[in-house]
A and B are shown apart, each in its own frame.
Chain A
Amino acid sequence: MIKKALIGTYLIVAICFFLSFGEGHPVSGANSGYMERVFVSGYGEVTVVDPAKPEVVASIKVNGPVRDLSFTKDGKKALALANGRTSLYVIDTLGNKVIDEIKLTGRTDNGLLDRRVWGSAISPDGSKAYAFVTQGEKRTNIFKVLPSKILEIDLGTKEVVRSVEAPYGIHVLQWKPDDSNTVFVWGYDLYTLDVKEMKLSLLHGIKHPQKPEDGIGNYLLIWPRSHTGFNSFPLVKSYPDGRVTEGLLWFNLKTEELKTLEFDKDPVGMFSAAVDRNQQYGYVVLNHLYKVDMKTGKVLKDSHPPHGSTYAIDLSADETKLYLAGGGNEFIVANTELQVEKIITLPTDGWDLQVVKIDKQQ
């Protein structure tokens, strides 16, 4: 009997111990294998927030508003797009400093090469960057458009190594987890880039679905999500019969399965969405703040951000909290029942936030 009780107690303690170091545990504990940071794309800076406190721990200065943030697998290096979409900044996330700037404008035989980046991603190992660019040639008195492309840039030499033509509309490049050869390319539709072959292939039609009666998707992906294993965003669908709905699209980054749902409410216009790894709840924000049942599309809670339009939402690394930022100069911590717990002021207005687990190991 005593032996059984001891074994039972041991098991309970062991389970508790295991859980305390698992991914689901709040990360403020000193023993977790990573450090959680939230990177807010600000104006003239990347603002680094320690969400556990919460407080601003660093401002990493760049030129102009930050439009894109991506991170290496270990989270120790970041790539920020800024400077009027013409520069990629390589950031050391442990030192909170810019370590390199890659300018993509240049010259051609006929004039200036104007390139604007609309989606960028650093490779998992931090050796390369990939950027979708629109290109134009500014000749003496006339502009000529050049094909839009995805560029592969060697971060060591800062040279464009390879490129592939890509269609208009691309706005986010996103690495497939644990796959150093595949980049998801989010445009009007979803493509994959085979990095080895530098080949772009259509994966899912969203604006151009196989069956229009399933709804034509319209979205502009500015707030990609990934750390729960899903990219997710609000999606407006229009149907041949004239119906227009608002809902969610979420995409399993490992299985490449794409799903959509429609809210049980009329469209109000939403910007970003986060989905938990169990696909149980979705959280959506702009002027409204929704908690959504992912099975039915039912809006379980319809709230509002505390101080008006808020662009970006994501779950904390342990998925116990919601983080909100963008559209103003606030970082907001709320619980998953949409109740605001803490608000801190950021140095600048913001655009997006990215929740990152930075590997503590050197």
Chain B
Amino acid sequence: MTKTRILAVLCAVVVVAIIISQLSGSQETSDRHDDPPKEVVHVSKQVEKSCMSCHAVDQNGKLARIEYVRKSPEGWSQTIARMERIHGVQLSAAEREQLVADLSRERGLAPEEAEKVQYWLADKPSYAEPLPQNPNVQSSCITCHAAGRFEAQRRSEEEWKNLKDFHLVMFPSIYLNHRHMDWPAEAEAALEYLAQMYPLQTPEWDKWKGRENDLQGKWKVAGFQGTKGFYLGESQFKKTESGYKEQKQIQFLKSKASVQLEGEIKLYGGFMVRADYKAAGRELKGTYNVQGQGNVIEGDWSEKSDSGLAGEETYYKLQTEKPEIIHFEPRALKKGATNQVTLYGMNLGKLKASDLHLPTGVTAEEIDVVADEQAQLRLTAADSADIGSFAIGTDRAVVHKELVVYDKVDYIKIAPAYGVARMGGEGPMNKVSTQFVAYGMSKGKDGKQGTDDDLTLDAVDAEWSLAAYPEGANSQYLQYLGTLEQDGLYTPKAEGINPAREYTQENVGSATVVAKAAVDGKVFSAQAHLVSTVPDYNNIVH
């Protein structure tokens, strides 16, 4: 074959290939024309309507800034409030709510990410946040913020780094407040750390995004409120157009007082439950997360008029398959003694002592079933019993709390160890009370107080009092602080100057909280610190 012929054949092959490809291409094009063009929605229609005029689609096809950040509903609410306050965004209440829902769903947190900052999302009173390990974060962020605020966010590296300029432009006095350090340089280092720790893309979010729990149905409830103790109850969620309606009845075990609550429930990001309750003229807010397979909801509630009146609460989805113990008391067994333990839960009629995995040295007698939700169990802890905290559930019976075995009560402690109460009620801010609780404590296996193996036993009744701080100071000023009731509830006074006090000071001050309790025939005493201070006005601005 001559070169000319070879070239001719090659050209023919190329021409045929081009024709075929064009024909098939036009076929594809024709097919595409048959389908309606796929509409690209950036986060949601509401987000596009309210945000796109400033946050246009960027070169990556994403909404500038917005699609490089993930936040909790509370975090998005703060952001939207700032856009309204500073940048003139006009929103109706319904639009604002829709934005929070859409952003929490599309640019929210995964359950594992939210769980770590539940205390911040719930605004848990007098909560001692663990100090972030990074020294640059400590010096440049923690001086103003709770770590929960930024640990409840996920951002691209660039978005974390944008925070430096944001702070310097928005709050230029920041370098004056931090003049003991080089804030811009340390903030840069802190943001590099946060970008590594809290990246935009995480396996948890990839796994969770798009999923949603269904809360409908009946639930058992167990909760604890400091100063009032444990309570149990039942709840039912019914779906509505905007979320759920909840009916809840609870009863405190100690006082037998009952409370009926009606709640408007929103479910954000498929698992973050936010409740607005009404209960006999009181209003409460609930901040919960659905856990695991969707059969447990855990979280916190507080009174809207006093966020210091608060409790921890867990819901357990009602089931009929096997015994499930949601609460028992006493929770702590003393070695060498027999205890009558009351079990609370569901399907307890089916429970056998052998269904429980009791620790070595602890034996159970037969169970006395009071009702399907309550049973009595005599447990004896031998002198030789292991001490510690033990999970006692098995595949035949679910037990949600651990059983503690101890040898003796060695001391008592007060929680919170550092209480912060805030005056309020006269202006725009409400009071924040502090609920102090005294717990029996055992030194644990090592016999040393204050180590990790110390065992927290049940709450104990105590006599409560306030003492001057620091020790030896004139206690006259205590008259200007609030009141500490005999159930451990400290209630601050209203804010504003007090003409009766020197320098017309407000009714602020620090004090030592003292609890005295008789346990097992011995009298113990413990101290905690109380700061009764001014309202947290910052929270109504930011």
Contact = CB atoms under 8 A, between A and B. Distances in A.
Interface of A: 114, 116, 118, 134, 136-138, 140-145, 168-169, 171, 188, 207, 218, 220, 307-309
A169 B179 contact: yes
B172 A116 contact: yes
Interface string B174-193: 01100110011000000000
A140 B83 CA distance: 12
Interface stretch (B13-21, B162-170, B432-440): B162-170
A147 to B, nearest CB: 11
B501 to A, nearest CB: 10
Contact of B54 (A118, A141, A218): A141
Given A168-B184, A218-B180, A141 B64 contact: yes
B537 interface: no
Given A168-B175, A169-B175, A307 B168 contact: no
Contacts of A218: 179-180
Interface of B: 54-56, 64-65, 162, 164-166, 168-170, 172-173, 175-176, 179-180, 183-184, 503-505
Given A136-B165, A168-B175, A168-B184, 5 more contacts: A134-B168, A134-B172, A141-B54, A144-B169, A145-B168
A308 B503 contact: yes
B165 A145 contact: yes
Nearest to B63: A141
A308 B505 contact: yes
Contacts of A308: 503-505
Contacts of B503: 307-309
Contacts of A144: 165, 169
The winner among B165, B170, B176, B180 for most chain A CB atoms within 10 A is B176
B169 A138 contact: yes
A190 to B, nearest CB: 14
A113 to B, nearest CB: 10
A307 B162 contact: no
Contacts of A307: 503-504
Nearest to B165: A145
B162 A142 contact: yes
A143 B184 contact: no
Nearest to B505: A308
A308 B505 CA distance: 8
A260 B176 CA distance: 22
B169 A114 contact: yes
Nearest to B169: A136
Given A136-B165, A136-B168, A307-B503, A141 B55 contact: yes
A220 B179 contact: yes
Nearest to A167: B175
Contacts of B168: 134, 136, 143, 145
Contact of B176 (A138, A140, A169): A169
A143 B172 contact: no
Contacts of B55: 141
B65 A142 contact: yes
A220 B54 contact: no
Nearest to B55: A141
Choose among B64, B179, B183 the residue with the greatest number of A CB atoms under 10 Å from its CB: B179
B452 to A, nearest CB: 31
Given A308-B504, A308-B505, A141 B179 contact: no
B175 A143 contact: no
A145 B169 contact: yes
A241 B162 CA distance: 37
A308 B503 CA distance: 5
Contacts of B56: 140
Nearest to A170: B176
B54 A143 contact: no
Nearest to B176: A220
Of B56, B164, B168, B170, the most chain A CB neighbours within 10 A belong to B168
Nearest to A134: B172
Contacts of A168: 175, 183-184
Contacts of B65: 141-142
A134 B167 CA distance: 12
A138 B168 CA distance: 12
A140 B54 CA distance: 6
Nearest to B58: A141
Contacts of B179: 169, 188, 207, 218, 220
27 contacts: A118-B172, A134-B168, A136-B165, A136-B169, A137-B169, A138-B169, A140-B56, A141-B65, A142-B165, A143-B162, A143-B166, A143-B168, A145-B164, A145-B165, A145-B168, A168-B175, A168-B183, A168-B184, A169-B175, A169-B176, A171-B176, A207-B179, A218-B179, A220-B179, A307-B503, A308-B503, A309-B503
A142 B183 CA distance: 20
B505 A143 contact: no
A143 B170 contact: yes
Contacts of B183: 168
